[in-house]
Amino acid sequence: MSEPVSQQRLADVFVDLAASRTDEPSDPTGLLTALAAHGTEVLGGCAATVVYVPDDHASPRVTGTDPALVRLARDAFDRDEGPGPQARRTGRPVPDTDLTREPARRDWPRFAGRALELGYGRAAGLPLRVGAHTLGALILLGPGSAPLRPDLLDLGQSLTDVAGCVLDRERRLAESRALADQLGRALTSRIVIEQAKGTLAAGLSISVGEAFELLRSHARSHRRRLTDVARDVVERHLQLTPNRRP
C-alpha cells in the first residue's frame, strides 16, 4: 500500500493545477499531463490516465505516465468502451468496477482483458467537465483486486474539476481576446472611414453623406473592402471625384 500523501503536498498539487496555463485552449497537453501525473502520485497507488476529446469530430488526446496505459485508453475510446468513454459520454462518474466480473467483461471486453493483463483489476472514470460540457475523463486503474477507496475517488474528482475550471478559464480568456481583437479592428475601420469621409467632404466641397456614398460606390464597383478604399483616400493613394466613373 502506498504511503499517505501529506496535506501540504495535496495543497501544492491543487495550487499547481489551478495555476496552470495552456498554450492554446485547443491544445491543453501540459495541463492534462500534470493532471495525470498528480493523479498517479496522490491517488493511493492508482494509475491515472487523462483523455480529452473537445468535440465529437476530434481525435482523443491521451496523456499519462505509462505508455501502455496511454495506448489502452486510446484504444478504449476508439472502441467506445471502458470507464473513460462512459464518463465522457454521460457526464457522470463511473464507480469502482471489478474488471474480473461479468459486467465489465461483457460491456468492456477489450478494455477489461487488456487491463487485467497489465496487472490492474479495478477501474473507475471521472468526468472532466469544462463549463457546461464534459470533454474528457480521468481514468483510474487500481492494481490487484482491492477496491478503489471512495475518498480517493472523491479526491480524483476534485483534481479533475480543478483542471476543468482551468480549461474553462483559458477558453473564456481566448474568447475575450478574440472579441477584443474584433472590436479593435472594427473601431480602427470606423475611424479610417470617418477620416476618409472628412477628407473627401472637405476636399470636394460635398456633404459627409455624399462622401460616404462616393466611398461605398467605389468599393462596390472595384470589389474592394470599404476600409481599404478609405485608407487609400486618407493616405492620398487614391483620389475620388463625384463625377468619376470607375
Residue 112 or 10, more confident: 112
Cell of 97: 468496477
pLDDT band at 185 (very low <50, low <70, confident <90, very high): confident
- DSSP annotation of 24: B
- DSSP annotation of 113: H
Nearest-angstrom CA–CA distance, 31 and 33: 5
pLDDT in tens, 27-54: 688 889 999 998 898 888 899 999 998 8
Nearest-angstrom CA–CA distance, 207 and 33: 63
pLDDT band at 245 (very low <50, low <70, confident <90, very high): very low
Residue 2's pLDDT is 59
pLDDT in tens, 114-169: 999 999 999 999 999 998 899 999 999 999 889 999 999 999 999 999 999 988 88
- Closest CA relative to residue 18, chosen from 157, 169, 155: 169
